[in-house]
Structure 1
Amino acid sequence: MDINDIVSLFSEKTPVNVDIKNTSHGEEDFRETLLVDFGEKRIVIKLSANGFTDEKHLAMWERIAKEYRGLGYYCPQFIRALDGTYPTVVYKDKNCRVWGEEFSKYKSAEELIKDKFSDTKLVEEGWYSFFEDAMIMDAKVAACHFDYTDLPSAYCMFEPFDPSDTSDETTEDAEKWLAIAQNLPDKYKGQVERIWNNWLEARKELEKIYHQLPTSVFQADINDTNVLLDEDGRFKGVYDFNIGGREVFINYLVRQAPYVSTDDTYGSIDVDDNFLKRVLHALDIVKKVYSFNDLEKKAAPLLYKCIRPLWWHASVELEEAGADDEKILRHLDAVEYEQTRDIVFSVHM
């Protein structure tokens, strides 16, 4: 099917112009966006070929956008094909699920930073100026405890997001680190085993309570490419729902907050205790509108011990250390420190 045929699934009008944007995540996760201009109106048409974009997920993402709008946040409306479905088409030799979305009224933070706020990058006192509003939005969604789906977000622990995955992303990150660490010289074997046993013990303790923790249904991806702002940089809402779903709120916070607090690179999250500072800052914000229960307070340190020490960047760091004994030892000591340090999360909850 060519582009004109795909557009005709959603409108009887002939487009003036169609721009194409590819946002694929490798061969197994094809994604392409068509920005369709009809002259007096524009829409977005998205195509995906992966293991998790199906009719059930699209109906859920459509519902998420509706619920967020009900809370007063802007989300572009989903658009079904003229026949009322989310059709599957053959496009570029792939079986793609297709859906439409309203062309956003607002720009993303990323766009505005590039076009209008390049000097400040919308950072105030070390944080994105919209970060608090975005966290409050998530807290309000959490407080609703939406339960209209059993489909997990990409952040969930103890269950895979994509049907082709063998484990959740947190476990996958930890196992990737272990595979690298097991190839280190024998003199590191004892510390590697200790670190891995620490991780397994934290995961085991967390699993005992995880499925009792409060959940809701989140968009689950509020980074600067998906946060929508007005021309003055004020927070308005979000778009892009393709990793959204049911999620344990405290898990989502620990996983999400370090990435979206400010505009610096992933590597800087590892320095000056930035990862922890950002988690605690997010907790301080959301408790203004969300009440954490005792089980969430108990889970917070266990989640931190599961997520922070062996998050994906740990594998990158260990791999980059190569055969440098000083770097390897510094890395292992830092990982073990994060596993064993005493952090009082409850005062921030």
Structure 2
Amino acid sequence: MITEKQLEYLLQFYYKDTIKSFRVIDNSGEDEYRYVAIINTLNNGPIVLKCYSNPYTSSEKIDGWAHLARTYRNNGIPTPAFYHTRDGKYSITHIMEGHLFYVWAEQYMSEKTLDDLELELEQLEDDFLHQLGSCVGKMHSISLQNDISYSWDSAYVLFDEEEENYDYALQWYEGLKDTEADTHLLEEIWSIYNEKRAELQSVYSTLPAGAVQGDLSTNNLLVDHHHRFSGIIDYNLAGNEKFVTYMIQEGIFLCYECYEEEWLDTERCRYMDQRFKQFYEGYKEHYSITDAERNVITILYNMIRPFRGDKVETTLRKVEEGSWQEVNERLQWMYREITRDDIVLFLES
């Protein structure tokens, strides 16, 4: 864990100041160290100091994240400013405990995240999803209009070497193919998935792309005291992405998956469809969807909605439990979602 003495030393690269108080959030994982220090300084108020040691953080990326955040802020999106060091850089490197850390500083945002307030998305009005969609659409328009792009991808792009969507789909198929699950239905879903994936890949390079924030998780969404959306934080997964793919992925996560209870029954899924529609309508207020993007929305939904990690992992857990009736019911639900052809019509009705 990073110490007060180390934080005092790192702070001097930004301010000649003293620490009054601080707290450190340790987000470290396997083979990486991530410390977020919220420091209250004597003369300059609060500041957020981030210290990361992992394979995907670099000075180039921090500079790119800072530029994206600055452009968002200049266009009215509430998001933290990245601070320059006293010699004009956005980041420094520092060795701690034998590891090379990249260190940068961001503005402290006083609003709380959904996680800070222990708020679940289902507790919020549908309009919250509309506000989120509107913000995402505005961010994508800003990236497009300002020609902001990176030499690296965001974390969840399709058709890269570590594609999460295909990995989960393959894990699902391999985990069910030699079991007591409905083999015919399993093979049909797998065949449809691969056909749709090939169809999408044939046009994927033509879709508009650019820099995206990369991670609209509930611990990165700020709300005001009325529980209305009030800003975005955290750019450490920002990278290049197809705008329509990012919109669909985040929309499905926020409107269907980010809930305490899993809903698969038709009636309750219709309610979540309405929330997705709110998100989509907000998105279109600020981003003009091209014909090419509109043509792949249904395929993206078909591929992403049934094969998100939580759906696959729950199904495989039911396989391990031998709950074959539930496994087959989940396959029937997956078949319904992967064959839906009404998505665009519903979203734009």
Q: TM-score, with normalisation over the residues of structure 2?
A: 0.85
Match of 1:331 in 2: 330
1:33 Cα deviation (Å)?
A: 0.5
Residue 104 of structure 2: which of 91, 94, 99 is its match?
A: 99
| C-alpha distance in structure 2 between counterparts of 1:64 and 1:90, whole Å | 27
Match of 1:308 in 2: 305
| C-alpha distance in structure 1 between counterparts of 2:137 and 2:34, whole Å | 30
- Check 1:149–1:193 CA distance in 2 against 1; reply closer, same or farther (3 A cut): same
Is 1:168 aligned to residue 163 of structure 2?
yes
Match of 1:130 in 2: 128
What is the aligned length? 334
Question: Would you say the 8 A contact 2:305–2:337 is kept in 1?
Answer: yes
Is 1:67 aligned to residue 71 of structure 2?
yes
Question: Would you say the 8 A contact 2:46–2:108 is kept in 1?
Answer: yes
Match of 1:162 in 2: none
1:347 Cα deviation (Å)?
A: 5.2
| C-alpha distance in structure 2 between counterparts of 1:12 and 1:233, whole Å | 37
Matches for 1:9-158 after TM superposition, within 5 Å:
9-24=13-28, 26-40=29-43, 41-83=45-87, 84-111=89-116, 113-114=117-118, 123-124=124-125, 127=126, 129-144=127-142, 145=144, 146-150=146-150, 151-158=152-159
1:295 Cα deviation (Å)?
A: 1.2
| C-alpha distance in structure 1 between counterparts of 2:337 and 2:113, whole Å | 34
- Check 1:120–1:137 CA distance in 2 against 1; reply closer, same or farther (3 A cut): closer
- Check 1:231–1:280 CA distance in 2 against 1; reply closer, same or farther (3 A cut): closer
| C-alpha distance in structure 1 between counterparts of 2:249 and 2:13, whole Å | 38
Report the more deviating stretch, 315-324 or 56-65. Answer: 315-324
- Check 1:244–1:346 CA distance in 2 against 1; reply closer, same or farther (3 A cut): farther
| C-alpha distance in structure 1 between counterparts of 2:175 and 2:97, whole Å | 37
Question: Would you say the 8 A contact 2:62–2:90 is kept in 1?
Answer: no
| C-alpha distance in structure 2 between counterparts of 1:69 and 1:52, whole Å | 25
- Check 1:202–1:264 CA distance in 2 against 1; reply closer, same or farther (3 A cut): closer
1:3 Cα deviation (Å)?
A: 3.3
Residue 290 of structure 1: which of 263, 287, 293 is its match?
A: 287
Question: Would you say the 8 A contact 1:134–1:222 is kept in 2?
Answer: no
3-state SS, counterpart of residue 268 of structure 1: coil
1:312 Cα deviation (Å)?
A: 0.7
Q: What do residues 275-322 of structure 1 show as CA deviations (whole Å, max 9, x unaligned)?
A: 644433322232233332221121011111211122112222212212
- Check 1:190–1:264 CA distance in 2 against 1; reply closer, same or farther (3 A cut): closer
1:68 Cα deviation (Å)?
A: 0.9
Equivalent AA in structure 2 for residue 78 of structure 1: F
Equivalent AA in structure 1 for residue 104 of structure 2: W
Question: Would you say the 8 A contact 1:34–1:44 is kept in 2?
Answer: yes
Question: Would you say the 8 A contact 2:255–2:272 is kept in 1?
Answer: no
Report the more deviating stretch, 146-155 or 33-42. Answer: 146-155
Tell me the percent identity: 22
Over the aligned positions, Cα root-mean-square deviation in angstroms equals 2.7
Question: Would you say the 8 A contact 2:124–2:227 is kept in 1?
Answer: no
- Check 1:88–1:227 CA distance in 2 against 1; reply closer, same or farther (3 A cut): same
3-state SS, counterpart of residue 66 of structure 1: helix
| C-alpha distance in structure 1 between counterparts of 2:327 and 2:123, whole Å | 36
Unaligned runs of 5+ in 2: none
Residue 215 of structure 1: which of 195, 209, 219 is its match?
A: 209
| C-alpha distance in structure 2 between counterparts of 1:4 and 1:43, whole Å | 12
1:93 Cα deviation (Å)?
A: 4.1
Report the more deviating stretch, 234-243 or 176-185. Answer: 176-185
Question: Would you say the 8 A contact 2:120–2:259 is kept in 1?
Answer: no
| C-alpha distance in structure 1 between counterparts of 2:120 and 2:12, whole Å | 42
Question: Would you say the 8 A contact 1:140–1:289 is kept in 2?
Answer: yes
Match of 2:185 in 1: 191
| C-alpha distance in structure 2 between counterparts of 1:120 and 1:246, whole Å | 27
Match of 2:234 in 1: 240
| C-alpha distance in structure 1 between counterparts of 2:179 and 2:98, whole Å | 43
| C-alpha distance in structure 2 between counterparts of 1:286 and 1:82, whole Å | 39
| C-alpha distance in structure 2 between counterparts of 1:263 and 1:172, whole Å | 18
3-state SS, counterpart of residue 243 of structure 1: coil
Equivalent AA in structure 2 for residue 147 of structure 1: D
Report the more deviating stretch, 222-231 or 306-315. Answer: 222-231
Is 1:254 aligned to residue 248 of structure 2?
yes
Equivalent AA in structure 2 for residue 13 of structure 1: D
| C-alpha distance in structure 1 between counterparts of 2:177 and 2:207, whole Å | 34
Q: TM-score, with normalisation over the residues of structure 1?
A: 0.85
